[in-house]
Each structure stands twice: as structure tokens, then as C-alpha cells.
Amino acid sequence: MAGDIQLQCSDCGQEFSFTAADQAFFSERGFSTPKRCKSCRMAKKGEQQGGGGGGGGYRSQSPSSHGSGTPVICSGCGQPTTVPFEPRGDRPVFCRDCYVARKGSSGGGGGRGRY
């Protein structure tokens, strides 16, 4: 089996390890070599899900964990904050407190609500 490989993330540009164990896992499932680091893959997956239902939800990051985030103005309270993804512009973006408050009051059905 091959050893660990260092790859460069196509989104953030940082190097990440594609471990031998990950290589075996990807190979068994017929997946291609990843283009993004784990943090960027998770952020991309969250965008594709449209933020609806089950999944990771909001994940706070310290500024030193992976980049510095994107500065935005919260759509709920109007305060400046940072988010660990690049907003698309077609959906509101919330600070952690407003996100948690909205998630708690969403009814929890997992389906799409009326807009």
C-alpha cells in the first residue's frame, strides 16, 4: 500500500495529508482523489445541502483552526461576524447566536418550510 500523500486544497490552497488509510477507503468505494481538504469538503457539502435538515449544522471554529473565515453582517441582528464558508449571496447568513435561535425554533420536522 502507498504511503501518505500531500495534496493542495483547490479552495483554500493549504496542504493536507491524504493518508494511506484514506486512500484505501476512497479506492474501495471508487472515489477519486480529493481536491479539497476536509474542512473545505464539509463546507462545500453544507452548501450543496442548501442548509435544510440533518447534517452538521453550524460549527464554530477558532481563528487559528483553518483560515480566518469570511466577514459578514448577520441577517438576523445586523452585527458583524465571520463564517467558515463563502456566502453565495442568495441566502441569509446568520451569526452563531441567531443561527442557533432560528434552528431551535424551526419546528424540527426536517422538511422544507414555506418561504
What does the pLDDT look like over 97-109, one tens digit per residue?
898 888 876 555 5
Q: Report phi then psi at 24, rounded to 5.
A: -65, -45
**Number of structural domains, the chain?**
1
On whether residue 84 sits in a domain, the answer given is yes
Q: Which residue segment(s) compose the domain that 98 sits in?
A: 54-106
On whether residue 74 sits in a domain, the answer given is yes
Pairwise CA distance, residues 18 & 8, whole Å: 10
The pLDDT confidence band at residue 8, using thresholds 50, 70 and 90, is very high
Contacts of residue 66, Cβ cutoff 8 Å, sequence gap at least 6: 12, 14, 37, 39, 84
On whether residue 28 sits in a domain, the answer given is no
pLDDT: which is higher, 45 or 15: 15
On whether residue 18 sits in a domain, the answer given is no
On whether residue 63 sits in a domain, the answer given is yes
